[in-house]
Structure 1
Amino acid sequence: MDDRDTAAAREPVVTAEDHGAARVITLNRPGARNAIDFPMRERLLDELRRAAGDPDVRAIVLTGAGGTFSAGGDVRSMEGAGPDAVRARLGPVHEAVRLMATCGTPVIAAVEGAAAGLGVSLAAACDHVVASEDARFVAAFGRVGLVADGGLLWTLPQRVGMGRAKEMLVFGRTVSASRAYEIGLADSLAPPGTALDAALERAAEAAALAPLSVAAAKRLLARTDHGLDQLLEAEREEQTALFGSADFAEGRAAFAERRTPRFEGR
């Protein structure tokens, strides 16, 4: 192992850095195209939990180092994995995806280069996906003899519809950034090398909104597949709680006074 390899081994596999009210969480194995091994899965879950639990963090941005979002699961680390090891590998990923989908903090993916396999799963679980114009998405799990994981069999049809999801998951089609935007896998496009900047702009927009309202919207959207009656009941509960919040009082006052509201998340 040379000095560069030693330095790379000392680097955290996931980093977190605050940019104003946004926390940028970066998959940081650029030498392996940010392939997601077990330590990265655990560290990613830890960082997501910290960010989601921090009231000062109004938005989370997920990205990858070195011009690649993620090559997906680290296939080399899968050799010889028995049933218990497979379940252990999936555990942190399932918790991370569940947290991204249900936490009250908006989560934005900034995708440069390739998002493959589990990388697509992580991006699709985000509330907004910014893709560079030269990004590409490939979820051909069948090429390595596996089925899609990380919740992609649920999130991808939600985003693009069943037929288009099958194009990626059953037929292994690679999707360009422009096509991803067309079908709803990507929500916005940015020039190459600027996806993170664009994601931070979107994060600033989310951070300006009342955090309790944003959290309620995410919770309700996560329940839209439970049926209209259940959604309406949950909506009534959420709206009743928000009417009693200090942020709603501030929003009313700011509206009447024609000024920018100062929300505090209470």
Structure 2
Amino acid sequence: MTSRDPRAEEKHLLVADQGAVRVLTLNRPHLRNALDMPLRVALAEALESAMAETSVRAVVLAGAGGTFCSGGDVSAMRRQPEAESRPRAEAAQRVVRAVWRGPKPVVAAVEGFAYGAGASLALACDRVVASSDAVFNTAFTGVGLAGDLGISWSLPRRVGAARARQMMLMPEPVRGARALELGLADELTEPGGALARAIADAGRLAAGPPLALAAIKRLLLAGPHDPYETLDREIENQVALFDSEDFAEAVAAYGERRKPVFRGR
């Protein structure tokens, strides 16, 4: 695998090609690859670029340092009015739109944690390869939020509506074997093996018929409920919640290493 950018090691997103497979690696290992605003923008741009390049036939999303993504960067969060929180929410949904609207299959390689927005990001992909010690957790209510990056559309379609409701209302860690059983993951590997398997699977997809694969993605997104309307509804809810006292309390509690006390305002 060769880097496409000689300065890639300095960036929070690494971009490399292996044949027709584009590998995008979240590279904030000191924060377990938490998604801040610059990373959201960089990831969206990289996905859009991969979808537009004819030499790329499939995409792999991975995380550096032995973990996929711990979710939104809580250390950078604070209570915000709509004018500040809306661009943040829209940047997150831009990532998912790039995955869903793009004609090329996207495979998530999940090692370690896929929490909150990290779980959403993995579940937005067309295939999820996880290591046996990977841990998924919706986790949004822990910071007083309701979920984004399409999880309110993708999660019910993977685990069923009733189970998705419980997983969002009462988040609990779901580990490798159970994640496979529930449908959060499509393939399980030994620890440390998710990326290699994801690249192999993406290579198989890259050798497939591009027009047919693109049509399959379009057809599976179509249905009685518009997934893009779901993204818009998630934005409206996230924007409102970011300006709530409960959210401010959750962020403060995170920094003080205590349980938040929610008051519903």
Q: TM-score, normalised by structure 1?
A: 0.79
CA contact (8 A) 2:13 2:26 kept: yes
Unaligned ranges ≥5, structure 1:
1-9, 228-266
| 1:1-266 pair list within 5 angstroms | 11-225=10-224
Looking at structure 1, the residues matched to 167 and 60 of structure 2 have their Cα atoms a distance apart, in angstroms, of: 25
Looking at structure 2, the residues matched to 81 and 119 of structure 1 have their Cα atoms a distance apart, in angstroms, of: 22
Aligned residues: 218
Amino acid at match of 2:213: V
Unaligned ranges ≥5, structure 2:
1-8, 227-265
Looking at structure 1, the residues matched to 22 and 224 of structure 2 have their Cα atoms a distance apart, in angstroms, of: 29
Looking at structure 1, the residues matched to 137 and 225 of structure 2 have their Cα atoms a distance apart, in angstroms, of: 29
Amino acid at match of 1:146: L
Q: Which has the higher contact order (CA 8 A, sep 6+)?
A: 2
Deviation of 1:226 after TM superposition, in Å, equals: 5.5
Looking at structure 1, the residues matched to 98 and 221 of structure 2 have their Cα atoms a distance apart, in angstroms, of: 11
The 4+ residue runs of structure 1 with deviation greater than 4 A are: none
Which one is further off, 216-225 or 13-22? 216-225
Q: TM-score, normalised by structure 2?
A: 0.80
CA contact (8 A) 2:20 2:56 kept: yes
Amino acid at match of 1:195: A
Could you report, residue by residue, the CA deviation over 1:138-163 in whole angstroms, capped at 9, with x for unpaired residues?
11211111111111111100111112
Looking at structure 1, the residues matched to 224 and 133 of structure 2 have their Cα atoms a distance apart, in angstroms, of: 33
CA contact (8 A) 1:140 1:170 kept: no
Provide the identity percentage: 48
Let me know the Cα RMSD of the aligned residues: 1.3
CA contact (8 A) 2:48 2:102 kept: no
Amino acid at match of 1:81: Q
Work out which of the two has the higher radius of gyration on C-alpha atoms and give 1 or 2. 1
Which one is further off, 151-160 or 161-170? 161-170
SS in 2 for 1:224: coil
